[in-house]
Amino acid sequence: MKRWSLLFGLCFIVLACSEDTAEYTAVPTPVALEIPDNFPAPLYDFETNPLTEEGIALGKSLFYDGQLSSTGVISCGFCHEQAFSFTHHGHTVSHGVNGLEGFRNSQPLHNLAFAKEFNWDGATIHLDLQPIIPITAEVEMDETIPNVLSKLKASPEYPKLFRAAFGTDSITSERMLKALSQFMLQMVSGNSKYDKYSRGEDGVTLTAAELAGEKLFASKCANCHAGSLFTDQTYRNNGLPFNTRFPEEEGRMRVTGYQEDYYKFRVPSLRNVEVSFPYMHDGRFATLEAVLNFYTDGMVDNGNVDHSLLQEDGRFGIALTNTEKHDIIQFLKTLTDHEFLQDERFAEF
Ligand code: HEC
Ligand code: HEC
């Protein structure tokens, strides 16, 4: 009896294994990330999650799927709209399920492969983990990961998409998160007028105002909005008055608990900033003019303002004339990457 059951067991294992190998027939097609010449090396470890055509296609399908939320209608793309560099157009702070409000402005999604940390306060240290926050946040998608996985398993499409991307149709949270990362990682924005000008491409030149703006920017802004990503990826307090609408907001201190991090925020990249309004972590400024007026006249000393913003007369702020503000804005508009904003690879339809 015992031997029979052993034999039966062995047969079962052999069968199960051969079925498993048979399942591994789908071989995804590798995709190389296109990195612009003027960019730094990516920080994402692609060896743990190589980009493939099928992985990206699955990620795209998930990104635009309302099933990731409890109400079935809030997808990632709801708060991250391509035309506005994947921000939530028209919203100071994001709106999720049942119109509930969060307390932060939706961040643009681009060049995530080069980012060290994520969110306004750096709460997420790995891109693969980021989607867990919106999926489970009550004011965003208000869903659970096991529920999402059951919905995907029950769908007629997803088992096939998972098989194409990862070889078998097993649907796990790790695979779901990796596919979402793959889709977002390919969102490289590096073809703005300014990029083409910096790389000396197609005879692109800047106007006199744009060139003047570039110079001003280099001396007054680029110590924080640094390098080709337009952020030094640090957390800084740029002197914004406290927003009493959101008393829970403490900036980076929410993550570290240190008083010295109070109201510090991750320096945002200014790429595509022309279309990613409204601005700042709470979307308080609707226009770039308002942002520059803040830098010259609106800063408050909340005890923790970055010292690079201290002027010679002991006042916080950046000295700029109206013409200089205009020129800086003209320069910022050269950072708009129209090809990225219209790239069909990232489009919902
Ligand atoms: C309800 C609106 C909303 C939804 C839905 C949403 N997000 Fe976001 N997203 C935000 C907000 C707001 C932030 C900034 C959060 C913060 O800093 O605390 C953000 C930040 C991010 C970031 C960090 C970007 C950076 O530069 O640090 C990534 C990546 C991201 N979201 C991806 C996703 C993905 C993937 C989904 C779907 C699973 C998703 N988001 C769904 C509003 C949303
Ligand atoms: C001391 C560092 C520092 C300097 C100098 C600085 N910024 Fe900022 N900037 C920040 C930080 C930090 C934020 C985000 C603050 C927040 O959201 O609370 C920010 C936000 C912005 C935003 C909003 C971007 C968005 O996506 O919401 C714009 C636009 C901007 N800065 C432009 C400029 C310009 C132009 C200059 C020069 C005149 C400048 N900054 C100088 C640190 C700096």
The full DSSP string for 267-299 is PPP-TTTTTS-SBTTTT-B-SHHHHHHIIIII-
So what's the pLDDT on residue 12? 42
Gap between the terminal Cα atoms of the chain: 61
Please give the full DSSP string across 168-180, using - where no structure is assigned: S----HHHHHHHH
Instruction: Using pLDDT thresholds of 50, 70 and 90, give the confidence band for residue 19.
Output: very low
Q: Is the pLDDT of residue 269 over 90?
A: yes
Instruction: Classify burial at 114, counting beta carbons within 10 Å of its beta carbon; exposed 0-12, middle 13-18, buried 19 or more.
Output: buried
Contact 263, 253 (CB under 8 A): yes
Using most ligand atoms within 8 A of CB, pick from 269, 276, 295 the residue to mutate for ligand 2: 295
Establish whether residue 130 lines the binding site of ligand 1, counting it when its CB lies within 6 angstroms of any ligand atom: yes
Q: What is the pLDDT of residues 207-223, one digit of tens each?
A: 999 999 999 999 999 99
pLDDT in tens, 40-77: 999 999 999 999 999 999 999 999 999 999 999 999 99
Q: Mean pLDDT for the chain?
A: 93
Ligand 2 binding pocket (C-beta < 6 A) is 220-221, 223-225, 236, 238, 240, 265, 267-268, 270, 273, 276, 279-281, 288, 291, 295, 306, 308-309, 318, 328
Measured in degrees and rounded to the nearest 5, phi and psi for residue 52 equal -135, 155
- Which helix (H) or strand (E) segment holds residue 223: the answer is none
Phi, psi of 323 (to 5 degrees): -65, -40
What contacts 6, CB < 8 A, 6 or more positions away? none
| 220 CA: nearest ligand 2 atom | 37
- Residue 97 pLDDT exceeds 70: yes
Residue 22 has pLDDT above 70, yes or no: no
Token couple for 50: 């190589």
> Does the CB atom of residue 141 touch ligand 1 within 6 A?
yes
pLDDT of residue 312: 86
Arithmetic mean of pLDDT, 228-245: 97
Residue range 165-180: mean pLDDT, rounded: 97
Judge if the beta carbon of residue 268 lies within 6 A of ligand 1: no
Any atom of ligand 1 within 6 Å of the Cβ of 272: no
pLDDT of amino acid 286: 97
| pLDDT of 6 over the 50 cut | no
Number of the ligand 2 atom closest to the C-alpha atom of 264: 12
Please determine, for residue 7, whether its predicted confidence score (pLDDT) is greater than 60. no
Confidence of residue 1 (pLDDT cuts 50, 70, 90): very low
Nearest CA to ligand 1 atom 36: 76
CA distances from 266 to 115, 150, 251 (A): 11, 35, 9
Q: Which of 17-26, 196-205, 290-299 has the lowest mean pLDDT?
A: 17-26
pLDDT of residue 26: 79
Contact 274, 335 (CB under 8 A): yes
Whether pLDDT at 224 is above 60:
yes
Q: Which domains does the chain have, with CATH numbers?
A: 17-189 (1.10.760.10), 193-339 (1.10.760.10)
The backbone region for 200, taken as left when phi is positive above 0, alpha when psi lies in -120 to 50, beta otherwise, is: left
Ligand 2 atom with the smallest distance to the CA of 276 is 26
